[in-house]
Structure 1
Amino acid sequence: MPIPGPALRDDGGVGAISDAGGLHLYQLWLHAEYGGVVRFQLPGAGVAVSVSDPLVLEQTARVDERPASLFAFLEPFCQAGNLQVIGAEEHAPWRRVLLETLAGRPSHERHFGEFVSLVEGLAERWGGAGAGAGAGAGAGAGQPAVLLQKELTALSLRMICAYALGGAGSDAVDAEKVVDAFEVVLSEDDGTTRASLALDYLRSTVDRVIAAREESGQGADRSDLIRALLAAGTSPARIRDTVMVIMLAAHHTTGVAVSWTLHLLGRHPEVAERVAAELDRVLGDRSAPDYGDLRELTYLDMVLKESMRLYPPGPYGARETAEDMVLDGADGTYEVPAGTTVFYPFWAVHMNPDHWPEPEKFRPERFTPEAVAGRSRFAYVPFGLGPRSCEGAGLAMVEAQLTLAVLLKRFRFRPVEGHEVTPVERFVLWAADDIPMVVTPRDGA
């Protein structure tokens, strides 16, 4: 049967998305109106098929190609071929090395102490005389307001910089210059002199670290990303592109995930108090967890996951069918021709009322082991699905849990009065005017 959807428009769908207030809101409307499988016009990809039904998502999970046009924006970071759209034959072994490193406990433990130092440095600044830097509207005397997205994405970039560029050759790396260069690249239009110089600086910095690793000749080390890629025979150019893309993706997604979580906790103080009580029980008088403590912070984990359900850091995914497919949906069976863009609106998946009762409500208890066991595993996909899902998901969760643990052990967060937080889609799910929050010390912290 034909896939339902709105009438095609001469503007390629741009007007419909604009009228809805953005692609994320348009997707919510599309699936509420037409069901779990919808045909729609996606600018840059022609007519696409959007899937918000987890049971149909599962049927597409093995698709291993991406539509090149939708990922062209990453090409400035990749000189050896866009890593997001390389063919399956080349992608599979490269992905295997990344998973062995990024998802491995040795890698997490090796860098955990440095992550702690970076987060505690931010906490000290927020709690000290400089805490009001970048204050948002409504901050009163003794009640500094911080811009969460600005501060936490910068922190996340410092963390991933330490992770990817630490070790041999890292003495020559100025982390603050790397952070500044990334901000220039992301904020300037492609081709400007400042953006070109910043991109050249980033590439040369990564190249120096790679060369130092090669010269040290210490062999494979599955806790060191660059050494693992060198040991796998990956070319220096491909390693540089890998590091660049990981740094780009990791700092934005982790920073906004923590920002949205603190935003929700500021509006649900009873949940924040329960998180604080768990931190006090597990950590005692310590200001930060050890790596092994993270598995004991079960309620914090539930809170973070529920936050990423409501505000998935990366709100979309996309695949391209290599052959004809048949999708069995709740409303019928649909034929999808080869070469079709299959669009994954993660926000609409996470708001599907058939799988998430009262989906707009913030309920961390949705992620108890019993609740998770009773739900399709494709109902929750904050890091994507299948062979193109995020290789850094495990590392991102460690960074986010650690950051939340340190900040919530020490501070309370509450919204700035009169500030409206409005989600918009950029590279990640962003807040239009940041998320300013008033930060005060917890009693006895």
Structure 2
Amino acid sequence: MDIPGPEPGADGGVGAVAAAGGLHRYQLQLHAAYGPVVRFQLPGAQAAVSVADPVLLEATAHIDKRPERLFEFLAPLFETGNLQVMPADEHGPWRRLLLSVLAGRPSHERHFARFTTLATELADRWAEQAAHVGPADRASHEPVELQKDLTALSLRMICEYALGGEVADPGRVVAAFEDVLTEHLGKLYEVPAPATREERAERAQAALAFLRATVDQVVAAHRSGDRADRSDLIGALVEAGERPARIRDTVMVMMLAAHHTTGVAVSWTLHLLGRHPVVAERVGEELDRVLGDRAAPEYADLRRLTYLDMVLKESMRLFPPGPYGARETTGTLFLGERGEYEIPAGTTVFYPIWAVHMNPDHWPEPEKFVPERFTPEETAARPRLAYIPFGIGPRSCEGAALAVIEAELVLAVLLKRFRFRPVPEHEVTPIERFVLWAADDIRMTVSLRVPE
């Protein structure tokens, strides 16, 4: 059968995406109007098809090619080629090496104490701010900006992880990476930024040069064996015989991928809990039961925080940090039991993660926040690809396990100490900015669960 979709426009689809408020919302609209498989126009893609049914997605899960034109904006960050679109034969070994580190418990445990320190430092700052108000109303007068503070925390955590805590000035690394992201992602999403275009480009180039030099210093120390405190990631790449420039590019892409995602996931979770105080109270009770008087969990405690895990998963269902993914077919692809959808070679296939997560066939009343959707029984009753916050197949996120550890740790530290409430009349609007961002941040008032 022909794949349904809107009539092509002379502008190549730019107007339709803009009118919807971004590609993530456009895909929701397309699937609501045309069904589980939709063809549509997209700038940078000759032909595009979006698939929102988890069963039909199974036939695409093996694809190991990304559409190069859609990832061109990342090319300036790399010297050995854009790692987001490396060929499948090269990508496979590289991915296996990354997973051997990023998905491994030893690496998570090794960095857990430092992650806890960083999360606690943020909690201490918020507690000091909240404590300035009298006991009758312990809410902070000044709302916290969740995305601002939590993405800064997530970048500090990934710098510690990727660089082994060996950076003399981690604050400068964080600032430099922000300059690079503001320039390159700002071009892609037309984000307003101070200074002239030339000034921003010059600042971004200087920041990129600093980041490369910083990573090169760490790589050189690993190769010489001079460092006792080593980066698991760089150590594995050095041991595998990767050349220094490729090691540097790998560290850079990991910092890029992890920079916003964890902080954004935690921000949306706190946003939802602030609007569902009964759920938040249950999370607090679980934390009190598992942690007792301790302010932060040990690594082994995370497995016992089962309700917190369900809350995080439901949050990433409603607000997936990455709202979509994309692959390119290398041969003709047939979807459906009878192959009723024929997708030609060279087609960009979109995984509209947000639309998959809002599919009412698998998520009754999908707009509702219901953590109990993720009990073992409920999970087993759904198709495997009904929940795909980290993508699917050989191009799914290598750092997924690490991201979940970080997010659950940060949530445990914050929710053990604080209650979060939405700021009245502050509108939270999801927008696409590499991740599913909030247009004007997520501002919330913070109060202490118990006086300190």
Alignment of 1:23-422 (within 5 A): 23-129=23-129, 142-166=140-164, 170=166, 172-188=167-183, 192-216=201-225, 224-328=232-336, 333-422=340-429
Query: Partner of 1:248: helix, strand, or coil?
Result: helix
Query: Partner of 2:359: helix, strand, or coil?
Result: coil
Query: Partner of 2:279: helix, strand, or coil?
Result: helix
1:313–1:35 CA distance, 2 compared to 1 (3 A)? same
Give CA-to-partner distance per residue, 1:177-229, whole Å, 9 cap, x none: 0011111112236771111101111111001000000010799x9x7110101
Give CA-to-partner distance per residue, 1:18-68, whole Å, 9 cap, x none: 222221221111101111000000111132010000011111000000000
RMSD of aligned residue pairs (Cα, Å): 1.9
TM-score, normalised via structure 2 length: 0.93
Answer yes or no: is the 8 Å Cα contact 1:414–1:437 preserved in 2: yes
Structure 1 position 119, deviation (Å): 0.2
In the alignment, structure 1 residue 432 sits paired with structure 2 residue 430 = no
- The amino acid of 2:319's aligned partner reads Y
1:141–1:404 CA distance, 2 compared to 1 (3 A)? closer
Question: Gapped runs of 5+ residues in structure 2?
Answer: 188-197
Alpha-carbon distance in 2 for matches of 1:389, 1:124: 35
Answer yes or no: is the 8 Å Cα contact 1:322–1:339 preserved in 2: yes
Report what 1:11 is aligned to.
11
Report what 2:192 is aligned to.
none
- The amino acid of 1:347's aligned partner reads W
1:156–1:142 CA distance, 2 compared to 1 (3 A)? closer
Query: Partner of 1:188: helix, strand, or coil?
Result: helix
Question: Gapped runs of 5+ residues in structure 1?
Answer: 133-138
Alpha-carbon distance in 2 for matches of 1:304, 1:357: 18
Structure 1 position 75, deviation (Å): 1.0
Alpha-carbon distance in 1 for matches of 2:127, 2:61: 45
Structure 1 position 436, deviation (Å): 0.5
Query: Partner of 1:3: helix, strand, or coil?
Result: coil
TM-score, normalised via structure 1 length: 0.94
Structure 1 position 103, deviation (Å): 0.5
Give CA-to-partner distance per residue, 1:297-333, whole Å, 9 cap, x none: 0000000000000000011100001111111179x71
Alpha-carbon distance in 1 for matches of 2:227, 2:119: 30
Alpha-carbon distance in 2 for matches of 1:21, 1:215: 51
Structure 1 position 89, deviation (Å): 0.6
Aligned length: 433
Structure 1 position 376, deviation (Å): 0.6
Structure 1 position 131, deviation (Å): 8.4
Answer yes or no: is the 8 Å Cα contact 2:46–2:347 preserved in 1: no
- Percent identity over paired residues: 69
Alpha-carbon distance in 2 for matches of 1:141, 1:164: 36
- The amino acid of 1:109's aligned partner reads E
Query: Partner of 2:83: helix, strand, or coil?
Result: coil
- The amino acid of 2:77's aligned partner reads F
Alpha-carbon distance in 1 for matches of 2:29, 2:337: 18
- The amino acid of 2:300's aligned partner reads G
